[in-house]
Structure 1
Amino acid sequence: MEKKQGRVLICDDSLLVRKKLKDILIKAGCEVYEARNGKEVVEIYQSSQPDLVFMDIVMPEADGLEALKNLKALDKNAHVIMLSSLGTSEKLIQALKNGAEDFIQKPYTTEQIMQIVAKIAK
């Protein structure tokens, strides 16, 4: 049996985005958890203790920036990668200032996701 790459939490309000990302991560050997918004991600983070979080910025209930601040307050060592559509560069700068490790522009490639997973899983 192949070695697990780690636990990854996906937070995006789009079911399609979550499914696509989940498929990539499962093929990479990751255990995957999902959250639909910035409020849910904090609850699921606490129960699943993931190694890595991929999080959208624009979401209902609590956006990615608010959720990022909450995750960092909970665990200052949380590895959070922001996923962003075009036109959110101001929010990306805020996300990096608030502790996001990196960001990926949507639509992303399988290779981009795999590189980040490999880097964090080391």
Structure 2
Amino acid sequence: MAKTALVVDDVAFARRVIKEILTAARYTVLGEAANGDEAIAMYKKLQPDFITMDVVMPIKGGIEATRKILEEDKDARIIMVSAMGHEQLLMEAINAGARDYILKPFSAEDLTRAVGKLLVDADDEPILTQAKGASHGA
């Protein structure tokens, strides 16, 4: 059975690119959200195997949404996706419970490699690949 995903980003184009990459890699995207509040509601409803979560979004950002989702489900697997590679933001994401962090722009290979590690890794420690590569447009 294919692993399932929730794609969260306030930019529709970024959601589309991530969805296309995940679908091509044989993951099933159950839903998309444009802000943290939508992400929290959709996670509760859909219970995906993992989430790709943008950091900076309107209404509720990715770090706050990550904290809230993990309050409800400590086993939720979340990869933060952002163009902002600041050390402080990275530490906030990890402190919130994110398992990995990918910087835009990223390649399809970067994303699928990070998701593969996320799903295979049984350790409770963050993976932190900090994948960064050729632009795929995200």
Regarding TM over 0.5, the answer is yes
Matching of residues 63-78 of structure 1 within 5 Å: 63-78=61-76
Query: Equivalent residue for 1:109?
Result: 107
Structure 1 Cα separation of the partners of residues 43 and 60 of structure 2: 15
Q: Give the aligned partner of residue 39 of structure 2.
A: 41
User: Could you tell me how far apart the structure 2 residues matched to 1:117 and 1:90 are?
Assistant: 23
How far 1:35 moved relative to its partner?
A: 0.5
* TM-score between both structures, scaled by the size of structure 1: 0.91
Q: Tell me the amino acid that sits aligned with residue 39 of structure 2.
A: V
Aligned to 1:112, what secondary structure does the other structure show?
A: helix
Tell me if 1:26 matches 2:23: yes
Which stretch shifts more, 18-27 or 85-94? Answer: 85-94
SS of match in other structure, 1:60: coil
Cα gap change, 1:121 to 1:96, in 2 (>3 Å): closer
Q: Distance in 1 between matches of 2:115 and 2:85?
A: 25
Work out the number of aligned pairs and report it.
119
Residue 90 (1) aligns with residue 104 (2): no
Give ranges in structure 2 of 5+ residues lacking alignment.
121-138
In structure 1, the residue matched to 2:58 is 60
1:11 equivalent in structure 2: 8
For residues 21 and 107 of structure 1, the distance between their equivalents in structure 2, rounded to whole angstroms, comes to 11
CA separation of 1:121 and 1:98: change in aligned 2, threshold 3 A: closer
Runs of at least 5 residues in structure 1 that lack an aligned partner in the other structure: none
Asked whether the 8 Å contact 2:55–2:80 carries over to 1, the reply is: yes
Q: CA deviation at 1:121?
A: 3.9
Indicate whether 1:51 and 2:65 are aligned.
Answer: no
* Bigger RCO (CA 8 Å, 6+ sep): 1
Identity across matched positions, percent: 37
Q: Give the distance between the partners of 2:17 and 2:112, measured in 1 at CA.
A: 13
